[in-house]
Amino acid sequence: MKTLRGFVKYPHPLLEDLYKEALKEKFPVIEPEIGNLLYMLVKTVKPLRVVEFGSGFGYSALWIALACPKDCQIFCIDYQEKNLNRALKLFEQFKVSQNITYLLGDAEVVFSDLRFNDESLDLVLFDHEKQRYSESLDLVLPKLKRGGFIVADDIFWKGEVFQNPPKSVKAKALKFFLEELKLRKDVDFSLLPLGDGVAIIRKR
């Protein structure tokens, strides 16, 4: 019998191999189901400007780049140089280099330095330090268009966010983040039990 994973449709055959490589290396990339979800969201939203906080070696950015319009700009941010070199090679291999700028540094610092105009971003992916999601939300929301999306990965943290109280610092921070989303009047959101949990947040 096929599992959910067995029904994932890959827009490029190498994406499946790349995920297997990441698993072998224990490199935490988004699960293919979430890649699939991002792909569908990007096909629907047709974003022109996307930012990713925590890009690793570019696996999640590839799912986005394979779905985005020709003139879309994707800004990948990560603070590890070894990730950048690997990502740039992959972007060439997948023929998406023209859409992607990969920037090295702390995600929030680089994001601020980019000085995006208010309400100019269509989509932002959070996959960096879980303790930073909340402050990153405050930073990103003014720059996001009304109707724009933030996708936040790993928000259930192996189910720990449902413990009362959560034990780890990361799970505590994620629980705070989810509670904050519920209270905020400027966003709608939906939580999906894919991978380690994913939040789809829409600016009102």
31 binds ligand SAM (CB under 6 A): no
| Among 66, 94, 128, 175, interactor with ligand SAM by CB under 6 A | 128
Pairwise CA distance, residues 158 & 7, whole Å = 23
| Peptide bond before residue 165 is cis, with ω within 30 degrees of 0 | yes
* Contact stretch for ligand SAM (CB under 6 A) within 41-49, 95-103, 121-129, 189-197: 121-129
Pairwise CA distance, residues 167 & 163, whole Å = 7
Q: Using CA atoms in the order 124, 126, 132, 136, what is the torsion angle rounded to 10 degrees?
A: 10
Q: Could you please report the per-residue DSSP string of 107-172?
A: HHHHHHHH-PPTT-EEEEEE-S-GGGHHHHHHHHGGGEEEEEEEEEE-TTTTTGGGSSS-SSHHHH
Cβ 128 to ligand SAM shortest distance, Å? 4
Residues in region 37-56 near ligand SAM by CB under 6 A: 54-56
Q: What tokens does 159 get?
A: 């189910």
Q: Site for ligand SAM (CB under 6 A): how many residues?
A: 19
HSE on the CB side for 3, CA within 13 Å?
4
Cβ 97 to ligand SAM shortest distance, Å? 16
Cβ 164 to ligand SAM shortest distance, Å? 26
| Among 28, 119, 131, 139, interactor with ligand SAM by CB under 6 A | 28
Backbone angles phi, psi at 47, to 5 degrees: -70, 150
| Among 127, 149, 155, 198, interactor with ligand SAM by CB under 6 A | 127
Residues 72-111 as x/- pattern, contact with ligand SAM by CB under 6 A: -----xxxx--x----------------------xx----
| Among 39, 59, 111, 157, interactor with ligand SAM by CB under 6 A | 59
Cβ 146 to ligand SAM shortest distance, Å? 25
Q: Which residues bind ligand SAM (CB under 6 A)?
A: 28-30, 54-56, 59-60, 77-80, 83, 106-107, 127-129, 132
